[in-house]
Amino acid sequence: MVAQLVHLGRPQDALALYEQALRTYQNLGDVRNTSMTQSAIANVLSKMGRPHKALELYKQVLHTVQTLNDMQGIAVTQQAMADVLGELGRPQEALVLYEQALLTLQILDDWHNLAITQHTMANLLEDVGRPQEALALYEQALHIQHGLGDVRKVAIIQGNLSQLLFKQGEHKQALAMAWQAYTSLSQNDLLHDAQELKKVLISMKKRVRGTAQFDALWEQVNEEPQPDWLRNVVAGSSFVLARMSSKELAVAVAKGLVESQYVVPGVFF
């Protein structure tokens, strides 16, 4: 019920219920449920844009689960703290916690959370300019999710991995992977995520120098014709924009020659 309140955009109501439960567990001396409730409150605070307060609570939770020798709780809390530290622009501290969480999850054989942590850590490594390490973690997470049979998570990792490959010049492999992810999501009626992959594919076409080059690339990886929504995209639009000065770009937008949403090429999710 409380989690549903957050999903419905009512985090304050959820927070009030969690705090009520927290007082009850504290009065009962129930240490484990107290820490679990604190963790839930920290999660809500993070979603409400209060990361510093969330981090304070997570530190309390981490101390408790360490005292209880709760290895699962330690790993999950380390991952949550790392997420918040990443949001706060403290990537090095976040990476240390992700690495600690990975070691614990490997010991526990918790493949589900291991893959999630690898994927999140790979995103951060890519952001801080360590693409090769990010690539290795994306591939490890992808291998695990394939084994777990999670179609959605496989496709999301493929979407992020394909964008990294594209930036590294591996256009053929990137396009094939992005199309595979889009197709998988569409066939499984995961339409919201499929729309995000559509944006990735459109972004790729815009970054290729010209239509002929993209068409040739497409033919190498796919026997099917391009869908209308992709075929009608002007190839190379982001390639051209990237070479405009800021003044030239501002003039082009003002004259309606370039749509403002194309100013920053690339789609990430």
Q: Average pLDDT in the 183-207 region? A: 95
Residue 157: count other Cβ atoms within 10 Å of its Cβ.
Answer: 27
Average pLDDT over residues 3-13: 71
Six-digit token pair at 209?
């120098």
200-249 pLDDT, tens per residue? 999 999 998 888 999 999 999 988 899 999 999 988 766 444 444 444 44
Smallest CA-to-CA distance from 118 within 93, 88, 87, 82 is with 82
Going by C-alpha positions, the residue among 105, 99, 36 that lies closest to residue 72 is: 105
33-69 per-position pLDDT tens digit? 999 999 999 999 999 999 999 999 999 999 999 999 9
The answer to whether the pTM exceeds 0.85 is: no
Higher model confidence: residue 258 or residue 97? 97
- Provide, rounded to the nearest whole percent, the portion of the chain with pLDDT above 90: 76
Q: What is Dmax (Cα atoms) for the chain?
A: 70
pLDDT at site 237: 66
CA atoms within 13 A of residue 39's CA, in its CB half-sphere: 20
pLDDT of residue 236: 76
Instruction: Spell 118-153 as b/e; 16+ CB within 10 A means b.
Output: bbbbbbbbbeeeebeebbebbebbbebbeeeeebeb
- Where do the domains of the chain lie, and which CATH numbers do they carry? 1-69 (1.25.40.10)
Residue 14 above 90 pLDDT? no
- Distance, CA of 101 to CA of 190 (rounded, Å): 30
Is it the case that residue 1 has pLDDT exceeding 60? no
Confidence of residue 135 (pLDDT cuts 50, 70, 90): very high
Structure tokens of 89?
Answer: 């622009």
Give per-residue pLDDT as tens, 79-123. 999 999 999 999 999 999 999 999 999 999 999 999 999 999 999
Task: Report how far Cα 259 is from the mean position of its chain's Cα atoms.
Answer: 27
* pLDDT at 256 exceeding the cut of 60: no
- Residue 23 scores a pLDDT above 80: yes
The confidence score (pLDDT) of residue 250 equals 52
Token pair in block for residue 27: 């009065």
How many Å apart are CA 70 and CA 64, to the nearest integer? 9
